[in-house]
Amino acid sequence: DEMVENLKKEQLDDDHKKEYCSVQFDEADDKKKGLEQTVSDEELAISNAQEAISVLADEIKALNISIAELDKSVIEATEQRKEEHTAYLELMALDSQAKELLGVAKNRLNQFYQPALYTPPPKRELTEEERVYQSVAGEAFVHISAHQQQQVAPPPPPETFDAYNAKTQESTGVIAMIDMLIKDLDKEMTEAEAGEKDAQKDYETMMAESQQKRAADSQSLTDKESSKADLEAEAQAHKEAEASATKELSAT
């Protein structure tokens, strides 16, 4: 009986040990599977993070290129606008000078052929020295003129009406041509002024749009760089977790 009891006890102990071993084995197996899953999850997380980092890196590169090209276009547009404005000022100055010279020429012709249309130059107040010189020179001129009138031959007879009429018609044609040249200059100046206003308006619009785009791109660049930094930190954390799980798994 005692032997039977001992056998039963030993069998019971064996069953307990077997059960314990089975539990331990199950726990170890579960832990191994859990570690394997952790490693797999971390590897997937690392892959996803690296893919997202790569996409952001491309977007950041594209934004930097876009901003650089935008800055270049702004510089080029500004230089072009300066050149256009300088050319406009030069054209207006040259045309104004040409109009002034044509006006003088027309006025001189009017002085002889259309006195009613002649505009005398504005009188300038003489200085004291000029008044003295004019007074002395005037007396000398009167004296010389009187002396010459006694010696010179009488003037030629006046021109015939036909000759005078021909010269009048010729001068009228010249004046008409001068008027046409002045009109052409006025037209050119008006068109240049309108073109300058349009070019300046387009430039200002382009500058405003460029400023808005650059601000938006710069903000987007800042956001993407921040997101990329966060993803890089997450990827590093996943790498550390994957390494730790792999090490623990190797020891299991």
Pick out the chain residues at pLDDT < 50: 137-138, 140-149, 151-154, 157, 161, 163-164
Q: What's the CA gap between 107 and 182, in Å, rounded?
A: 13
Say what the pLDDT of residue 164 is: 47
What's the pLDDT tens digit per position in 35-52? Answer: 888 899 999 999 999 999
Say what the pLDDT of residue 124 is: 65
Say what the pLDDT of residue 103 is: 92
The structure's pTM equals 0.63
Instruction: Print burial letters for 81-106: b (CB count within 10 Å at least 16), e (below 16).
Output: beeeeeebeebeeebeeeeeebeeeb
Q: What's the CA gap between 34 and 239, in Å, rounded?
A: 17
Say what the pLDDT of residue 210 is: 97
Say what the pLDDT of residue 181 is: 95
Say what the pLDDT of residue 102 is: 94
Quickly tell me which residue has 């045309």 as its tokens: 95
Q: What's the CA gap between 44 and 38, in Å, rounded?
A: 10
Say what the pLDDT of residue 161 is: 47
